[in-house]
Structure 1
Amino acid sequence: MSRSAPKSNVALLTEGASYIQRAKKARREQVEEIKFDDEARREWLTGFSKRKKAKAEEKKARAKERDHLAHLKERREARADLRKKAAENVKSVRRAMGLEDLSDDDDEDDEDEDDLPGPSKSKAQEAEEEYSDEDQLATVTITEDFDPSSIQPQFAGYDSDEEGEGASRPQQREEEKPKAKPKVKILPPSSAKLQKLREKKKAEKKKSTSMETASERRKGREMEARRRTKKAELARGREGGGSSRGGGARGGKRGRGKGRR
């Protein structure tokens, strides 16, 4: 048996390179081809309605989200306005009662205390409920365990001042109270204004609200005039016929009466 000659080191090391060269040559000589994905093509051709519905649903969801955010913004603004009005009402009531206005620092401290976590320091229990719709927002706060003794010290000093100062203190309180606006009845309008208003109303009534043109209105007037003349002629003809018939009948009766005599 003949044995093949052993390969040299160079042949062994370059043997892989020959395989790579042959693979590259095969790829270069390969003809390009296009492969169709029938499943993807079918889905694209039959999915127009589905994609359209998906886009519409996405638009609806975005519009709903925008409306929700706008509603939340309106609620926040309404709450801020209610807080502002409540603060103004408290100030006006305290001024009317002759008490000092609460400073801004105290308000800020109260807000900070409210923001802090943990149980409230006040003994009174408050229950807050909100009722809202598209146009209005109402906040109802119910305070339980009301202690009227907490208000007595404020009015005790007030009474002592009244006794000491006499009649001067009530005058000062009256000056501090906001002056009520005089109730003036609305005066009736003058005769000239009334006449102008009446003339204006009459002119508005006279204005034609029809959509007819001038020629159509003229034609309508002519047809109405013809109809009236025809009615008048018919009425005159009836009257003339009735009188002639009545005269003949009366004459016949007279003739018969003469014959009898």
Structure 2
Amino acid sequence: MASASTSSILSHSHAVLKSKRRAKQNQIKEIVFDDDARKEFLTGFHKRKLQRTEEKKSKAIAREKQQRLETRKESRQALAEQAKENAAAVERALGANIGSDDEDDDFASRARKLEDEMEFEGEEQLATVTVVEDFTTDDLILGPRPTRAHDDSSRESTPRPRPKHQEPPSSSTTKPSKPKPREQKFRYETKAARRASKDKQKAARASKGAYDHSSSSRSTNKKSTNSKRKR
């Protein structure tokens, strides 16, 4: 019992010494402080804060850019699907409209311009009026209108009556256009201009009065001389 305890004590002491020896080997011999790094750490709090905010901003900008790209991609995909659906609908409509030879002929005739001619015959002249109606894309896509097709067939089956002695409207019945009244333009003058115009009017009136007075005096003088001569 004593030998077992002695051996265990010795082994424990040997392990402790070994661990101390290992700690001495791994012990740092000298600690050297970097004054520049210490100064930068102590004085660079604001700088590091600004750097963190800039990093956050750049990350937010990159995230928004990625979201925009994803939304654009989704919108392009939706537009492509919509275009495919529209193309399929147009093909189905065209396939339903073009089913027989008669419908093919009708489609070709709709692609051309529809023309109606009317003749007006007078005493000495013969005038021909042509009414042109352009086809529309709705007729090509949606097909012929039933009323229009019925009207065309009835018009082709029935002969067109020719109007007799229908004179064009004369130009004498047209009423002459009245001239538009001119708008009166008001002129606003300054105070000095109004005063100058008033002075000119007064001077003109004074000169006119003097002229009238001189002419009247000359006429009286002539009358007096004539009366003296008669005496």
Fold equivalence (TM over 0.5): no
- TM-score under structure 1 length normalisation: 0.27
More RCO (CA 8 Å, sep 6+): 2
- TM-score under structure 2 length normalisation: 0.30
